[in-house]
Structure 1
Amino acid sequence: MKKFISLGFILLYLVFWGCKQNASEIKVIGFNIRYDNPDDGINAWPNRIPLVKAYLSKESPDIIGFQEALHHQVKDLEGLLPEYRWVGTGRTNGKQEGEYVPVFFKRSVFEMEDEGQFWLSDTPEVPGSIGPGAVLPRIATWVKLTHKASQIPVFVFNTHYSHVSDEARRQAAEIMAERMKRIAGTAPLILIGDFNIEFQSETYQQVSNLFHSNNYLMNTVAHMDPEKKPAKKTYQGFSEATRGSFIDFIFVNEHFSVKDFRIDKVKTDSVYISDHWPVKTLLKIQ
């Protein structure tokens, strides 16, 4: 029986992820890469670069939303991903200082039409501005793309919410909901991020309801294999011994059907790809 189950799982995986994608399908990855901190020891950024390269080469996503990337890390990713174009700025000054939340996308799949960023504060256009309840600037990057195969416009937003308080995260969500509506309207929209909100918590429900009522967004995790849900977590802090938390999500609106959602656990015996596991979803644009 176990052999049949294993074989069935392998076949199912190949159907969703191993086969060549249909032209209307879009693979999206959300990935907090952990800022380059020399104190991370064996898990410092230079040691993790080979894992990042191998993982992204194997997955070959159409869109990637990274979080916590410092400028030199963005340049490293640019070198690892020559077939992609990217947009984004540093959160501290709107240039190269501070963490980025860049969006990378395949040149062969998308044409860029417009892009921008805003701060999750009462003054979203002011670089480096800090929102209520937060202690650091928080930013959102967005890009308007044309999906070449279908000529359908697709808006992608990428963000990283405050780690300090639920109030800061709720305020950030309100700003984002309004901005997404203003920028994208009712067009196809993908929202990627490290939201620092535990899945199914009270704050998560409030934010999820806000996104649904304002932007018609749904969390792609709804399409995760039910057997994997009890053990799910995306943040592990470089240790699977910790309880961890499920805080990284990909939301989409009604213009997409969701074929699958997965959390990818990538590590060698001694090195983790990041202190967060990447999350990925396979979408069909409609």
Structure 2
Amino acid sequence: MSILKNASLSSTLSLLLILSGCHSMRKTDMKVMTFNILYNSHRVFSGETSWEVRRPLLITCLQTHVPDLLGTQESFAFQTDAIQSAFPNWRVFGKGRYHQVLAVSPRRPYEDLGGESCRVLYDQKKYELLDHGTFWHSDFPDSAGSRTWGNELPRVLTWGKFRIKESGKRFVVMNTHFHWDQPYVQNTAHLIMRKWREISRGLPTILMGDFNLAPESPEHELFCGRSGPKELAGRFRDCWQVLNKPEEGAGTGHAFTGKGVTRIDWILVTDEFTVKSIDILYDHANGIYPSDHFPVLAQLTL
């Protein structure tokens, strides 16, 4: 009798292990978007369109394409709050570059509520947020508002560690916005590669944002492990390049003209992700665009 019980228990355990394995092997479709939504300065500069005019167009764009992970750049809290209010299942995290800093730039007094951010929004029905943080592009990345490499204004990276509820798989999202001068650019790329290893600990990772760099830049090559110090080299793949899409005509920053020059907004992923598609979205209405950048949307599986 005991032999039969042991055999039955063994069979049950084997079945559970098989089911558990099937659960973890399940592939999940993901829709990931990076979008520099352009801050609202309460002043409209020459050639710009105000946030009040752009907001409904931006919301419509998101409702049309429905990403389940959205990395924003230049976003103020009230802007991401407006986005979140249109998507009840979405949650948002990330600190502004002047988080808890009282002395903001006198040239930008409208940043007194934390300022621009790289906040991330996600569908909480699909993903569980396990951990998150923000660090600054400087020699003191944990010091809010810090800047040490010649950049006039602070810059940040927001990261989140997630679990896919359907499969249990875990992954990391890193979302950032680069300045464009050296030595800032190189130092920031090196910092991000060090932080990526520290934060991800080998987990699949999405690195996205407005990099203000051309795809042939040394920093892009460092992220993709094709150049730079070996101890810092990444193992990312540019989704655009994975699918062999042309660089000509793929500009993403367009200054409200509708004509981009260089592909400066990227979605990079580690090898664990399968890239199904990636597109630059040109949504607009009556000659008005949601932002001075085109959003970029990638469909992935993990």
TM-score, normalising length from structure 1?
0.85
Name the CA shift for 1:160/1:56 in 2 (closer, same or farther; >3 Å): same
Contact 1:211/1:217 (8 A) holds in 2: no
One-letter identity of the residue aligned with 1:173 = A
- Structure 1 CA distance for aligned equivalents of residues 86 and 120 of structure 2: 14
Name the CA shift for 1:115/1:203 in 2 (closer, same or farther; >3 Å): closer
The answer for the alignment partner of 2:178 in structure 1 is: 161
Name the CA shift for 1:279/1:201 in 2 (closer, same or farther; >3 Å): same
One-letter identity of the residue aligned with 1:278 = P
Alignment of 1:27-38 (within 5 A): 27-37=31-41, 38=43
Contact 1:134/1:168 (8 A) holds in 2: yes
The answer for the alignment partner of 1:90 in structure 2 is: 96
Contact 1:28/1:62 (8 A) holds in 2: yes
Say which is worse superposed, 215-224 or 196-205, in terms of deviation: 196-205
Correspondence 1:51 to 2:68: no
Percent identity, aligned pairs only, is 29
One-letter identity of the residue aligned with 1:150 = S
Name the CA shift for 1:52/1:215 in 2 (closer, same or farther; >3 Å): same
Contact 2:30/2:299 (8 A) holds in 1: yes
Give every structure 1 segment of 4 or more consecutive aligned residues whose post-TM-superposition deviation is greater than 6 Å. Answer: none
The answer for the alignment partner of 1:24 in structure 2 is: 28
Contact 2:249/2:261 (8 A) holds in 1: no
Contact 1:31/1:277 (8 A) holds in 2: yes
Q: Which runs of 5+ in 2 are unaligned?
A: 1-25, 102-112
Contact 1:131/1:171 (8 A) holds in 2: no
Name the CA shift for 1:94/1:178 in 2 (closer, same or farther; >3 Å): farther
Contact 1:31/1:67 (8 A) holds in 2: yes
Contact 2:54/2:290 (8 A) holds in 1: yes
Name the CA shift for 1:184/1:94 in 2 (closer, same or farther; >3 Å): farther
One-letter identity of the residue aligned with 1:266 = D
User: Which among 31, 39, 44 is matched to residue 39 of structure 1?
Assistant: 44
Local SS of the residue matching 1:49: helix
1:189-246, CA deviations, whole angstroms, 9 ceiling, x for partnerless residues? Answer: 11111011112234543454359964411111114563x53111000011135x6321
Local SS of the residue matching 2:194: helix
Name the CA shift for 1:269/1:166 in 2 (closer, same or farther; >3 Å): farther
1:119-162, CA deviations, whole angstroms, 9 ceiling, x for partnerless residues? Answer: 11000110000031311111111111100111001111111011
Correspondence 1:230 to 2:248: yes
The answer for the alignment partner of 2:216 in structure 1 is: 200
- Structure 1 CA distance for aligned equivalents of residues 28 and 238 of structure 2: 20
Deviation at 1:268, TM superposition (A): 1.4
User: Which among 239, 244, 264 is matched to residue 247 of structure 1?
Assistant: 264
Contact 1:169/1:195 (8 A) holds in 2: no
Correspondence 1:110 to 2:127: yes
Task: Name which one, 1 or 2, has greater alpha-carbon Rg.
Answer: 2
The answer for the alignment partner of 2:80 in structure 1 is: 74
- Structure 2 CA distance for aligned equivalents of residues 99 and 106 of structure 1: 22
Local SS of the residue matching 2:82: helix
Correspondence 1:132 to 2:149: yes
One-letter identity of the residue aligned with 2:165 = K
Contact 1:220/1:252 (8 A) holds in 2: yes
Correspondence 1:189 to 2:205: yes
One-letter identity of the residue aligned with 1:240 = G
One-letter identity of the residue aligned with 2:188 = A
Q: Which runs of 5+ in 1 are unaligned?
A: 1-21
One-letter identity of the residue aligned with 1:102 = R
Say which is worse superposed, 90-99 or 169-178, in terms of deviation: 90-99
Name the CA shift for 1:262/1:156 in 2 (closer, same or farther; >3 Å): same
One-letter identity of the residue aligned with 1:122 = D
The answer for the alignment partner of 1:271 in structure 2 is: 288
Instruction: Give the aligned CA root-mean-square deviation in angstroms.
Output: 2.1
1:139-190, CA deviations, whole angstroms, 9 ceiling, x for partnerless residues? Answer: 1111111001110011111110113x03211111111110110010110111
